[in-house]
Amino acid sequence: MSANRIISYAFALLICAMGIGFGSSAFAAAAPAAGDGLYSEKGTATCVQCHNEAPATDILKTPHAMKGDAHAPGGQKGCESCHGPSNSHAAGFAAGKPALPAVVFNGPNASPIEVRNGACLTCHQDAKRMNWHDSQHKNANLACVSCHTLHAAKDPVMVRTTQAAKCFTCHAQQRAESFQFSHHPMREGKVICADCHNPHGSAGPKLLKEFTVNQTCYTCHADKRGPMLWEHQPVRENCLNCHTPHGSNEARLMKERMNFMCSTCHSATGNNSGGAFGGAHALVGNLQGSATFSSALANNRTCLNCHSQVHGSNNPGGTFFFR
């Protein structure tokens, strides 16, 4: 405890001994037992007598402290809107019976997880947290405070440039992916985790904000939405047939090197046509083996040299995605 704290603590004891000050006379005579459900008489003013420095006081700089907002703790029970009725804690010290606040969020004395989360959900049980109760994060026993920091002028997980770092503390694989050659600029804060995921729960897979992968991608890549005159089936089906969402060592977030990626579905023995090594390529104008074809395949754009509109085409002549 800092010198300041000790002084204010001592001060609290002193005013208590004199039978004056907050909480009136009652708490000096008979200190209420822990968890007696009573709020301290002067709310925040009582608490900040002892908790008079950062980080405790940082909350006073946030929307939570707004006195004018009837929905905010500041407009209700102050500190105790979150920490619960804690008169026994505030007064207990003075009476020589230290007690914990009703709700402790972190550290060795942390309250049970339902109690902690319940304190937040009394106010934040809304549309965005509709699926919290069967979310992967709830099931993994995360607390709201596993991600949120309330005693900070600005909660880092709410800031675009610092959000990913918070998620990376648990999701090391996605962190590694964010350093790969091609990646959504997540560390850079341009495309953030919460652009694609709702960490509070989702009706779709993998905590995605939308019902499907493709709908999630379309929110930014609207040009890929279609419908196209000539659809490429795997594109409509799932963008992740060819791409990875976070990062890849292949260009354009590709799952595999170009040529091989197309060949996973289009091969001489595969069922979706002959690909580059048979089928039409062998038949039409004896394409395969021609100088044009070989050099086109050797080029790093490989199949894309000819089939450039791989997401589908709106050109009347775009059957084979040439244009």
Give the whole-angstrom CA distance, residue 36 versus residue 48.
21
In the complex, the smallest distance separating the C-beta of residue 116 from ligand HEC, rounded to whole angstroms, is 7
Count the residues of the shown chain that bind ligand HEC, applying the rule CB under 6 A.
140
Q: Residue 144 interacts with ligand HEC (CB under 6 A)?
A: yes
Site string for ligand HEC, 275-304 (x = CB under 6 A): xx--xxx--x--x----xx--xx----xxx
Tokens of 246: 């976070």
**Residue in 21, 214, 228, 313 binding ligand HEC, rule: CB under 6 A:** 214
- Of 60, 49, 52, 51, which Cα lies nearest the Cα of 21? 49
Identify the residue whose tokens are 């004018």. 68
In the bound state with ligand HEC, the residue whose beta carbon lies nearer, of 28 and 213, is: 213
In the complex, the smallest distance separating the C-beta of residue 78 from ligand HEC, rounded to whole angstroms, is 6
Give the whole-angstrom CA distance, residue 300 versus residue 296.
8
Torsion of the alpha carbons at 244, 164, 73 and 135, rounded to the nearest 10: 30
Q: Residue 171 interacts with ligand HEC (CB under 6 A)?
A: yes
Tokens of 31: 């200190």
Give the whole-angstrom CA distance, residue 18 versus residue 13.
9
| Cis ω before 199 (30° cut-off from 0) | no
**Residue in 32, 193, 228, 312 binding ligand HEC, rule: CB under 6 A:** 193
Ranges within 255-274 binding ligand HEC (CB under 6 A):
259, 261-266, 272-274
- Of 51, 81, 54, 48, which Cα lies nearest the Cα of 66? 81
Ranges within 115-134 binding ligand HEC (CB under 6 A):
117, 119-124, 128-129, 132
* CA-to-CA separations, 279 to 272, 285, 288, 296, in angstroms, rounded: 10, 12, 10, 17
In the bound state with ligand HEC, the residue whose beta carbon lies nearer, of 34 and 304, is: 304
**Residue in 31, 38, 228, 253 binding ligand HEC, rule: CB under 6 A:** 253
Ranges within 303-322 binding ligand HEC (CB under 6 A):
303-307, 310-311, 319-321
**Residue in 28, 31, 99, 213 binding ligand HEC, rule: CB under 6 A:** 213
Q: Residue 28 interacts with ligand HEC (CB under 6 A)?
A: no
Number of other residues whose CB lies within 10 A of the CB of residue 67: 12
In the complex, the smallest distance separating the C-beta of residue 115 from ligand HEC, rounded to whole angstroms, is 11
Burial of 313 (0-12, 13-18, 19+ CB in 10 A): buried
In the complex, the smallest distance separating the C-beta of residue 158 from ligand HEC, rounded to whole angstroms, is 5
Q: Residue 34 interacts with ligand HEC (CB under 6 A)?
A: no
Q: Residue 145 interacts with ligand HEC (CB under 6 A)?
A: yes
In the complex, the smallest distance separating the C-beta of residue 20 from ligand HEC, rounded to whole angstroms, is 14
SS3 108: coil
**Cα dihedral sign, 60-61-67-69:** negative
In the bound state with ligand HEC, the residue whose beta carbon lies nearer, of 161 and 292, is: 292
In the complex, the smallest distance separating the C-beta of residue 187 from ligand HEC, rounded to whole angstroms, is 8
Report how far apart the first and last C-alpha atoms of the chain are (Å, whole number): 71
Q: Which amino acid is at 66?
A: M
Site string for ligand HEC, 42-71 (x = CB under 6 A): --x-xxxxxx---xx--x---xx----x-x
SS3 54: coil
In the complex, the smallest distance separating the C-beta of residue 51 from ligand HEC, rounded to whole angstroms, is 4
